[in-house]
Amino acid sequence: MNRMGRMLVAVTALALVVLATGCEKKLTYKRFQMVREGYATHMDVEQTLGEPDQKAGDVWNWQDFDRHITCNVYFDDEGVVAKKEWIDAKKGQWEGSAPGVEESAGSSDSSEQGSSSERTIIRTYDVP
């Protein structure tokens, strides 16, 4: 293989590595769970979930239309996460709520996780 051929192979390999690492989805449920209410800052959230699709004041929003996922993060006046919300319409999962919205376990499919001081309510719904 001549020098030009080796160079082409090296450039192609480098491009594949860049594409593979750049295509990692940051908006995942596992990453969403890493964002801690009362602790995470704007920078923490952006490093964890990536650049939001929309910033409307203290509300940041991510949308993944292909996977039917919506994520909202609500910040307090100090720029710390006050509440967060994860909606996966494909799986029928909704976790969290907006500030001022009382969470209730009204659905028989709801499950509570965590201690009484830190409780997460996960609602699941049948999606046709």
| 116, two tokens | 């009484």
Mean pLDDT of the chain: 78
Per-residue confidence band for 126, with pLDDT thresholds at 50, 70 and 90: low
What's the N-to-C CA distance of the chain in angstroms? 57
- pTM of the predicted structure, to 2 decimals: 0.65
Per-residue pLDDT of 57-87, as tens digits, reads: 999 999 999 999 999 999 999 999 999 999 9
Distance CA 86, CA 28 (A): 10
Confidence band for 2, pLDDT divided at 50, 70 and 90: confident
Q: What are phi and psi of 49, to 5 degrees?
A: -105, -10
- Decide if 35 contacts 84 (C-beta within 8 A): yes
Residue 51 pLDDT level (bands cut at 50, 70, 90): very high
Average pLDDT over residues 39-49: 97
CB of 59 within 8 A of CB of 101? no
In contact, 30 and 89? CB cutoff 8 Å:
no
Q: State the Cα–Cα distance between residues 53 and 61, nearest whole angstrom.
A: 6
Taking the alpha carbons of 90, 94, 99, 104 in that order, is the dihedral positive or negative? Answer: positive
Residue 100 has pLDDT above 70, yes or no: yes
